Structure 1
Amino acid sequence: MKFSIGGSLKLAFRPWVEGLENIPAEGPAILASNHLSFSDSFFLPAVLDRRVTFIAKAEYFTSPGVKGKLTAAFFKGVGQLPVDRSGARGAGEAAIKAGIDVLDGGGLFGIYPEGTRSPDGRLYRGKPGGLARVALASGAPVIPVAMIDTEKIQPPGKVVPKLMRPGIRIGKPLDFSRYHGMAGDRFILRSVTDEVMYEIMKLSGQEYVDIYATAAKRRIADAEKAEKAAEKAAEKAKAAAEKAERPAA
């Protein structure tokens, strides 16, 4: 099913790709990518000859009915692995274990260090608890990946994608074996994560923002809420002023 889905995506969108030679023909490797769109997890596997496994919410695989079964089959076909994300800490540990299991089996494991999609197309600070821990625990090389223009194909909230060519740049593998046995050092985890994010930034050409994407989303949501409140207050004040200007009956 992976090949049929990948073939359809390549035929419809004709994604361009650079750096395919950096993907090993066999053996474990971590693909660390920026995250611009829901479709990132589909386009990257589509251009690779090897299967790459990403983490997905367990709900995608357990929804009832015909639609639920079709959704589950689709996600399995493109290499998504269900992980129960109930509880922040439990979700993180489950994702790390799943990634290590994939790599121990000699597979390719895909991960988004930002932890969530970028809210505005910029590159945000990577979270050290996932990528770095998986890399140091497994000893697998980390391959930086940049998705290009996928946010234009399927912006948040859009169901029907726009037909245009996305791009994928794949960087050279990064070796962190020098930090073997140091996964418990938070400064090492931060150093590994920042090195990977720097390489992703160079590949993608994105502006880098040194805060977490989740914090940026909260700021954007708060700003939108404040703007709506201000507009509502202005409308109320205008209505009151118009009422006061009307001549008494």
Structure 2
Amino acid sequence: MWYRFFKALIFHPLVRFGYRAKVIGAENFPRTGGAILVSNHIGALDSLVVPAMMPRPLTFPAKAELFTGQGGVGAKIIAWFLKVVGMVPMDRSGGRASADALGAISDQLAAGHVVAIYPEGTRSPDGRLYKGKTGMARIALQNDVPIIPVGVVGTKSYKGPFGIPWAKRPVVRIGKPLRFPEFAHVPGNTKVLRWVTDEVLASIQALTGQEYVDVYATRVKSGDLKDGGSDAFVLPRPGGGDKPQLEPRDAGA
């Protein structure tokens, strides 16, 4: 209820009429059933623009520490807001806690909800599309749900009226849902996970026209490529496009 309230009263009017955002390909968005929305991540406003323009509510996994409310009044407000709009806490410490977080996402999908994930894992440091992490593919295969590729452009923000972050005519493009039922029985196979991830990223690239870099964005933002850049890792597209051929011994991987 709160999600729809905030969207209808504040976020959709702000994005649609203030930012003058538009959606292309809305007919591709499934009207019912669990699904995973997968988007590129180029600006801080992506998490506002995308859900505001989608025909159905989205559930974003958020860092578990944001739900604690520790750190003052602002932190308590954020924690309250995340809880009332139905976001899922994502514990990345590993072990049982992370497994429970993935279980919560599966519960959302089983209930027919749409979960939104940024496969790059972080915001792009330079507007290019970076290598995707395979967790999204694992969740999709384990739950046998469609993946909705979404490409966002124009969400670079600047200070607007009353200091509100503003964007100028962002565009959200929705691609046709992708399904990989032939690999649903091997959700842990590393070759399959990488291929599915690369195919999804290739679909996003086709929507945005971004240049693709075959390294994780974190290496460029804070890792060994922070000073040298990533130009040497630019490729025409994610992966080679060749579907993995599983050997009999891989069937149980």
| TM-score (norm. length: structure 2) | 0.78
- CA distance change for structure 1 residues 196 and 163 in 2, over 3 Å: closer, same or farther? closer
Correspondence for 1:174: 178
Correspondence for 2:165: 161
| Alignment partners' CA distance in 2, 1:59 and 1:169 | 31
CA contact (8 A) 1:31 1:108 kept: yes
Match of residue 129, structure 2, among 99, 123, 127: 123
Once the two structures are superposed, residues 85-125 of structure 1 have per-residue CA deviations (whole angstroms, 9 ceiling, x without a partner) of 3x256675455333212101110010111111111100001
Match of residue 201, structure 1, among 201, 205, 210: 205
Correspondence for 1:143: 148
| Alignment partners' CA distance in 2, 1:180 and 1:196 | 16
CA contact (8 A) 2:62 2:89 kept: yes
CA contact (8 A) 1:30 1:140 kept: yes
1:34 is the counterpart of 2:43: no
CA contact (8 A) 2:40 2:204 kept: yes
Correspondence for 1:62: 68
CA contact (8 A) 1:42 1:78 kept: no
Higher share of residues assigned helix: 1
- CA distance change for structure 1 residues 154 and 35 in 2, over 3 Å: closer, same or farther? farther
Mapping of residues 5-84 of structure 1, within 5 Å = 5-10=10-15, 11-64=17-70, 65-76=72-83, 79-84=86-91
Q: Secondary structure at the match of 1:147?
A: strand
Q: CA deviation at 1:162?
A: 3.1
- Of all paired residues, the percent bearing the same amino acid is 48
Correspondence for 2:249: none
Q: Secondary structure at the match of 1:7?
A: helix
Correspondence for 2:237: none
| TM-score (norm. length: structure 1) | 0.79
Where structure 1 has 5 or more consecutive residues not aligned to the other structure, the ranges are 225-249
- CA distance change for structure 1 residues 6 and 37 in 2, over 3 Å: closer, same or farther? same
Q: CA deviation at 1:21?
A: 0.9
Once the two structures are superposed, residues 26-69 of structure 1 have per-residue CA deviations (whole angstroms, 9 ceiling, x without a partner) of 11111011111222122111012311101111232222443223
- CA distance change for structure 1 residues 3 and 137 in 2, over 3 Å: closer, same or farther? same
Q: Secondary structure at the match of 1:38?
A: coil
CA contact (8 A) 2:69 2:77 kept: no
Q: Secondary structure at the match of 2:124?
A: coil
Match of residue 118, structure 2, among 103, 112, 126: 112
Mapping of residues 236-247 of structure 1, within 5 Å = none
Correspondence for 1:183: 187
CA contact (8 A) 1:123 1:207 kept: yes
| Alignment partners' CA distance in 1, 2:66 and 2:218 | 22
Correspondence for 2:219: 215
- CA distance change for structure 1 residues 220 and 185 in 2, over 3 Å: closer, same or farther? closer
Once the two structures are superposed, residues 114-153 of structure 1 have per-residue CA deviations (whole angstroms, 9 ceiling, x without a partner) of 111111100001111x111111001000110011121x21
Q: Secondary structure at the match of 1:97?
A: helix
Q: CA deviation at 1:175?
A: 1.1
Give the superposed CA RMSD. Answer: 2.4
| Alignment partners' CA distance in 2, 1:163 and 1:197 | 24
| Alignment partners' CA distance in 1, 2:142 and 2:179 | 13
Please tell me the residue identity of whatever aligns with 1:136. Answer: L
Please tell me the residue identity of whatever aligns with 1:116. Answer: T
